[in-house]
Structure 1
Amino acid sequence: MKRLLASLFLFGWLVSAGAANPVVEMRTSEGPVMVELFADKAPKSVANFIEYVKSGHFNGTIFHRVIDGFMVQGGGFDAAMRQKPTRAPIENEAKNGLRNEAGTLAMARTADPHSASAQFFVNLVDNRFLDYPSRDGWGYAVFGKVTEGFDVVQKIGRLPTHTVNGMQNVPEQPVMIESIRIVDAVPAKSTQQ
């Protein structure tokens, strides 16, 4: 909890100082993907994601749900389809004005709007029905966007899938998230509108 509060303070200070949004490199078994994280628009979601990055949580996880023409989801399971433990869920920030457009990252959650923890997804197409206010009145909080390597994400989206232990749309060959690390920052004003 102290680490999350410290991260929120840091991101709040960065945003108020007009500083930059963090950029992370996601190394996958299909290739690298660069992502700008919108700390200026989704500070809690970004702080949460950064804490998982710093702890190494994502290293060795897989994209466990892949639906071509929709999205690819990862960050919660290892290659044996064992769910990794997570910290407490975070508040839903879908009211931040960002849209679930092709290439954006959003927090995955259950039917409970405030249940997002470590899992995230990358939209393969514009999924406006996931924007605030969605059918459940909340939506799915966008917190970043792929800036390089969207072709890698699209390739993952086209992989053949099957059902494993009752979970549908699991790639037949595991797609690993080998690592995610903070690499740079860009001016906060570049955030999509």
Structure 2
Amino acid sequence: MKLFHIAMAGALSLAAFAGSAISAAAADLLTIQLKDGPVVIQLMPEVAPKHVAQIEALAKKGAYDNVVFHRVIDGFMAQTGDVQYGNSTKGYDANKAGTGGSDLPNLPAEFSKTPFTRGTVGMARAQDPNSANSQFFIMFANGDFLNGQYTVVGKVVSGMELVDKIKRGQGQNGEVSNPDKMLKVTVSKK
């Protein structure tokens, strides 16, 4: 599964985000432990229930632990989640990282009107809109050209300054040599 270059793919205010259908009392949180500290993502099951369920299932079984940020483009996004080829402690292949998924099935697109703004978390996919599996990306900046074309699964609510420290890639596609990784990924209720 060769991932489509989302950079080539073509505002939600914080007040509107806070007023969305997310229940503050029961919201699912995804915590990514980076070398510099934790990043907390508020997941949006009301926007993309199948994608959120898959991310949670993978996180709960430890599949995201030690997975690298294989593609990081300054001013755009940091991509991770290739549990097949991106795990730095087992099966890591720098030449294939970004082309794999998980042992779970690919998912049908769950596009929404939720825009891609700084801190938005979206699902990476191949050119086929129904090919998202385990990989996701965190936006460094607004990316209106992604709106309605990629599935939004969450929003960073704490630790965005740590996301900003993730090692950037080189070249047009943002491939990273000696990449940073997600040390541990957990799910909890707010």
Task: Pick the TM interval, shorter chain.
Answer: 0.7 to 0.9
Which one-letter code corresponds to 1:87 in the other structure?
A: L
Taking the aligned partners of 1:152 and 1:19, their CA distance within structure 2 comes to: 25
2:60 to 50, 54, 60: 54
Structure 1 residue 113 corresponds to structure 2 residue 129: yes
Hey, which bits of structure 1, 4+ residues long, moved more than 6 A?
Answer: none
Q: Unaligned 5+ residue runs, structure 1? A: 1-14, 133-138, 186-193
TM-score when scaled to structure 1?
0.74
For residue 178 of structure 1, what is the aligned residue in structure 2?
183
Deviates most, 75-84 or 139-148: 75-84
For residue 45 of structure 2, what is the aligned residue in structure 1?
39
State the Cα distance separating 1:84 from its structure 2 match: 5.8
Give the 3 Å change call, closer, same or farther, for CA 74–18 of structure 1 in structure 2.
closer
Which one-letter code corresponds to 1:171 in the other structure?
A: V
Taking the aligned partners of 1:181 and 1:117, their CA distance within structure 2 comes to: 18
Taking the aligned partners of 1:97 and 1:25, their CA distance within structure 2 comes to: 25
Listed as ranges, the matches of 1:22-33 within 5 Å are 22-33=28-39
Task: Describe the superposition over 1:69-88 as per-residue Cα deviations: whole angstroms up to 9, x where unpaired.
Answer: 11000010123335464311
Structure 1 residue 148 corresponds to structure 2 residue 153: no
Q: Unaligned 5+ residue runs, structure 2? A: 1-20
Give the 3 Å change call, closer, same or farther, for CA 19–39 of structure 1 in structure 2.
farther
Listed as ranges, the matches of 1:27-106 within 5 Å are 27-76=33-82, 77-79=86-88, 80-81=92-93, 83=100, 85-94=102-111, 96-106=112-122
Taking the aligned partners of 1:160 and 1:142, their CA distance within structure 2 comes to: 22
Contact 2:102 2:134 in 1 (8 A): no
Give the 3 Å change call, closer, same or farther, for CA 18–104 of structure 1 in structure 2.
closer
State the Cα distance separating 1:56 from its structure 2 match: 1.0
Structure with greater helix share of residues: 1
Structure 1 residue 169 corresponds to structure 2 residue 170: no
TM-score when scaled to structure 2?
0.76
**Rg larger for:** 1
Give the 3 Å change call, closer, same or farther, for CA 72–18 of structure 1 in structure 2.
closer
Give the 3 Å change call, closer, same or farther, for CA 84–48 of structure 1 in structure 2.
closer
State the Cα distance separating 1:31 from its structure 2 match: 2.4
For residue 8 of structure 1, what is the aligned residue in structure 2?
none
State the Cα distance separating 1:19 from its structure 2 match: 6.4
Structure with greater strand share of residues: 1
RMSD between aligned residues: 2.4
Taking the aligned partners of 1:27 and 1:174, their CA distance within structure 2 comes to: 15
- Between the two proteins, the alignment pairs up a number of residues equal to 159
